Amino acid sequence: MKKNQETNPGLGLVIGLSVGHGIKHFGQGALTVIGPMLKVSLSLSDVAYGAIFSSLNVSSGLSNIPAGILSDMYRKKIAWMLAISMFTIALGYFILGLSQVYAFIILSVILIGFGTSFWHAPAFGTLAARYPERKGFALSMHLTGAQIGNTLGPPIIGGLISGITIGSIIKFSGFGWEQVSLFLILPMLITGFLVIVLFKSAGAESDTNWSFEVYKARTKGLIKDKVILGLITLGAVRASIHTSFQLFLAVYLKEELDYSAFIIGWHIALITAAGIISTPIMGILSDKFGRKPVIQIAMSLMAIYLFLFLIFDDGLGLIILITLLGMFFFSVMPIITAATMDRVPKGSEGSGTALNFIGMSVIGFMSPIFAGIIYSQFGFSGISIMSGIIAVTGIILCSLLPMKKIN
């Protein structure tokens, strides 16, 4: 019976971790809507604003180092690692809500970035190990949870900030971004405690824990694999597009189109809304037909849509284009991660995931600042061109990389 359960594991862990991932991203995505309000409140320049999110990316990258080590060495403690992720995000929003000093804003996003990324290695690594024949599906479902959180978060956070008026029946004037930041503490704390209570089985597929010496030896092998390094770079390319474009789309909607926080939130939600459906479909297709064709098609369409923003930069055209982009923007990430998991040895799933996210953060460190320079000189058109060129680079890299399961 035990062997059969391991061969055909239920979906309880996938669903549970996907819900937790969604709540994490609800809090993570809130920064995108809070950001433009914070920028105005503190009278920040485009570069100073970009530096806040660069700090977020650096912190996210660094957190993958301990997350990867701990998730492979202490597989039986995965639930506690996921809880630490949520508690750290809560602490970041606590500081963000209480201070408008730039240095403390930086500290708060560092904590938020550390917490949000600390989730990935234990969660992705555990799912890849628990569902070895359905990695694409399991990781895509996990990302679907994230997309639901990313979709619900911006309009809800935007509505809480700018308020909502519906005729003479509902008139809500809204809260300040500081108060909303404090509200976000509660769901993070609740989720952290629930993970500890409900998902103690996470990591149960592992028979033993590694020593640090074994971990170092196996990780060196991963770093020497050129295909793994190429996949890490491909993931970083995608992340740099996502970070730069979404960040300054929100600024463009606020400063150029003069949209309220509520309307900005709905536009940002469109980036992930369509992906709720497309992500698991792409995961299933990648399990059946291979990772490469799915990634190539997704990134090719991304590049086309990004360049089309030069024509459709407001109104209904902007809405339709954001929705189309959302079908692939975030959805391709779990497929790239699954391709990496196909290459790593059994037991190294946490480290493989960590390396993926470290790569995203290394390139992501500079992309917001560089995007800030581009935006200040060329506006939203410059961001569209920059993002489109990066997407084309990703297509070329994907075409050169061999992607085939080896474990």
Is residue 406, in this structure, part of any structural domain at all? no
Average pLDDT over residues 191-205: 76
Is residue 84, in this structure, part of any structural domain at all? yes
Measured CA angle at 195 (ends 190, 197), to 5 deg: 95
Residue 171: count of CB within 10 angstroms of its CB: 10
Looking at the chain, the whole-number percentage of residues with pLDDT higher than 90 is 19
Is residue 257, in this structure, part of any structural domain at all? yes
Looking at residue 344, the DSSP 8-state letter turns out to be: S
Residue 66: count of CB within 10 angstroms of its CB: 15
- pLDDT tens column, 350-388: 667 777 777 776 666 677 778 888 988 898 999 999 999
Residues with Cβ within 8 Å of 197's Cβ and at least 6 positions away in sequence, in order, are none
Cα dist from 95 to 42, 99, 108, 185, 352, whole Å: 16, 6, 6, 10, 32
- With a cut of 80, say whether residue 95 has pLDDT above it: yes
Domain assignment of residue 281, given as a range: 8-400
- Total length of the chain: 407
Cα dist from 20 to 79, 180, 241, whole Å: 11, 20, 25
Total domains, the chain: 1
Token pair belonging to 338? 């699954």
Local structure of 283: helix, strand or coil: helix
CATH number at residue 259: 1.20.1250.20
Looking at the chain, the whole-number percentage of residues with pLDDT higher than 70 is 84
**C-alpha to C-alpha distance for 30 and 116, rounded to whole angstroms:** 12
Predicted pLDDT of residue 214: 64
Least confident of 146-160, 191-205, 293-307, 316-330: 191-205
- Nearest Cα neighbor of 178 from 254, 247, 99 is 99
Average pLDDT over residues 196-221: 66
Measured CA angle at 367 (ends 219, 61), to 5 deg: 30
Looking at residue 179, the DSSP 8-state letter turns out to be: H
Is residue 101, in this structure, part of any structural domain at all? yes
Is residue 37, in this structure, part of any structural domain at all? yes
Cα 172 vs. chain centroid, distance in angstroms? 31
Predicted pLDDT of residue 6: 43
- What is the band of 348 on the pLDDT scale with cuts at 50, 70, 90? low
What value does the mean pLDDT of the chain take?
81
**C-alpha to C-alpha distance for 86 and 66, rounded to whole angstroms:** 16
Is residue 3, in this structure, part of any structural domain at all? no
Residues with Cβ within 8 Å of 353's Cβ and at least 6 positions away in sequence, in order, are 64, 68, 71, 120, 121, 124, 125, 128, 337, 340, 341
Predicted pLDDT of residue 147: 78
Residue 406: count of CB within 10 angstroms of its CB: 10
- With a cut of 90, say whether residue 389 has pLDDT above it: yes
- pLDDT tens column, 96-137: 988 888 899 999 999 998 998 888 778 877 777 777 667 677
- With a cut of 50, say whether residue 1 has pLDDT above it: no
Measured CA angle at 183 (ends 272, 92), to 5 deg: 80
Token pair belonging to 282? 């792409």
Is residue 190, in this structure, part of any structural domain at all? yes
Residue 171, beta-bridge partner list: 165
Instruction: Name the maximum alpha-carbon separation found in the chain.
Output: 67
CB neighbour class for 4 (10 Å; exposed up to 12, middle 13-18, buried from 19): exposed
Half-sphere exposure (CA, 13 Å, Cβ side) for 122? 35
Least confident of 24-28, 150-154, 370-374: 150-154
Is residue 1, in this structure, part of any structural domain at all? no
**C-alpha to C-alpha distance for 82 and 71, rounded to whole angstroms:** 10
Token pair belonging to 220? 């060196």
Half-sphere exposure (CA, 13 Å, Cβ side) for 23? 24
- pLDDT tens column, 52-92: 887 887 887 788 778 777 777 777 788 888 999 999 999 99
